[in-house]
């Protein structure tokens, strides 16, 4: 699963370990995060091995050394991808609304946001010559599976996918470079149109689409600006900040009660 906000995910990994298993992809994010914090290459290599051993009981450096080596190599070529604001413009939204199927519109929305986010948040720092495709605005390389997960849709891979891309191609909205390639090309990027949706929360990316199409229980957190679904009428924070504020309120009440008891004594 692609992680657009690598800073947030690296901090999550540091607290909770791997999402599923010790993969090169997740080790790379963790290595880039340590580099972002200013650690040396020597420290990062040692900490990667330690981290992998602590959070994956099946990790054996003698067997899986290549995962560490690849993560370090990737770290030297790409920096940590940080969260930035992505704008969906009015013309882009109108283009998405031209698609007939609701599932296809959700996918197209994700494709657009991912394409713009990755292009405006290029983390390439390697010395090798770039492929000319990497500089083509609207082009991105993400698997269909990851796109469908971000869009919260399920497809029949033999029929729905082909039908969807035929419609995208017919409307002149998107293309795929080759049948077995992960390159996708969104052709309706229009940054000159008026801003319509401002995206900052990449953990709940599709909720921006849902909110725009009439889902009425999605709100922005008063502290971090992230999206959340209300559980109570009084909720004004996302789940993470609800927990943080609850702990702060409990500590404040506890300290106040303790101070009053000391005064009585």
pLDDT tens digits, 106-165: 999 999 999 999 999 989 887 655 555 555 778 888 988 899 999 999 988 778 888 998
Same-domain check for residues 201 and 97: yes
Same-domain check for residues 158 and 47: no
Same-domain check for residues 199 and 103: yes
Flag whether pLDDT at 262 surpasses 70.
no
Flag whether pLDDT at 66 surpasses 80.
yes
Same-domain check for residues 114 and 231: no
* % of the chain residues with pLDDT over 90: 64
Q: Is 101 part of any domain?
A: yes
Q: For residues 204-224, b (16+ Cβ closer than 10 Å) or e, as one string? A: bbbbbbbbbeeeeeebebeee
Same-domain check for residues 116 and 188: yes
Q: Count CB-CB contacts under 10 A for residue 126.
A: 12
**In terms of residue numbers, what domain contains 39?**
6-77
Over the stretch 175-230, which tens digit does the pLDDT of each residue have? 876 655 678 899 999 999 999 999 999 999 999 999 999 998 899 988 888 899 88
Q: Is 107 part of any domain?
A: yes
Last residue of a domain, one of 56, 77, 98: 77
Same-domain check for residues 188 and 99: yes
Flag whether pLDDT at 247 surpasses 60.
no
Domain count for the chain: 3
Same-domain check for residues 91 and 192: yes
Same-domain check for residues 223 and 185: no
Q: Is 40 part of any domain?
A: yes
Same-domain check for residues 243 and 260: yes
Q: Is 1 part of any domain?
A: no
- What integer pLDDT is reported at residue 133 of this predicted model? 55
Last residue of a domain, one of 30, 50, 77: 77
Same-domain check for residues 202 and 116: yes
For 216, the enclosing helix (H) or strand (E) is none
Q: Is 236 part of any domain?
A: yes
SS3 assignment, position 89: strand
The whole-angstrom separation of Cα 105 and Cα 127 is 38
Over the stretch 13-39, which tens digit does the pLDDT of each residue have? 999 999 878 999 999 999 999 999 999
- Phi and psi at 175, nearest 5°, equal -140, 160
Same-domain check for residues 118 and 140: yes
């Amino acid at each position: 699963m692609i992680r657009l906000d690598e800073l947030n995910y690296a901090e999550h990994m540091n607290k909770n370990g791997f999402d599923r298993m010790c993969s090169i992809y997740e080790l790379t994010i963790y290595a880039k995060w340590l580099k972002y914090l200013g650690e040396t290459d020597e420290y990062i290599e040692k900490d990667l091995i330690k981290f992998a051993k602590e959070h994956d009981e099946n990790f054996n450096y003698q067997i899986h050394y290549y995962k560490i080596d690849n993560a370090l190599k990737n770290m030297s070529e790409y920096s940590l991808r940080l969260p930035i604001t992505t704008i969906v413009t009015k013309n882009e939204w109108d283009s998405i609304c031209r698609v007939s199927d609701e599932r296809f519109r959700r996918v197209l929305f994700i494709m657009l946001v991912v394409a713009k986010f990755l292009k405006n948040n290029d983390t390439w720092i390697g010395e090798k010559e770039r492929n000319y495709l990497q500089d083509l605005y609207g082009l991105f390389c993400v698997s269909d599976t990851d796109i469908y997960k971000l869009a919260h849709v399920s497809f029949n891979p033999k029929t729905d996918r082909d039908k969807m891309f035929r419609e995208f191609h017919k409307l002149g909205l998107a293309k795929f470079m080759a049948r077995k390639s992960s390159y996708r090309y969104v052709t309706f990027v229009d940054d000159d149109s008026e801003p319509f949706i401002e995206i900052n929360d990449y953990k709940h990316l599709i909720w921006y689409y849902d909110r725009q199409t009439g889902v009425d229980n999605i709100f922005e957190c008063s502290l971090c600006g992230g999206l959340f679904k209300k559980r109570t009428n009084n909720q004004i924070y996302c789940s993470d900040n609800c927990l943080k504020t609850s702990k702060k309120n409990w500590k404040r009440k506890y300290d106040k009660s303790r101070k009053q008891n000391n005064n009585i004594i």
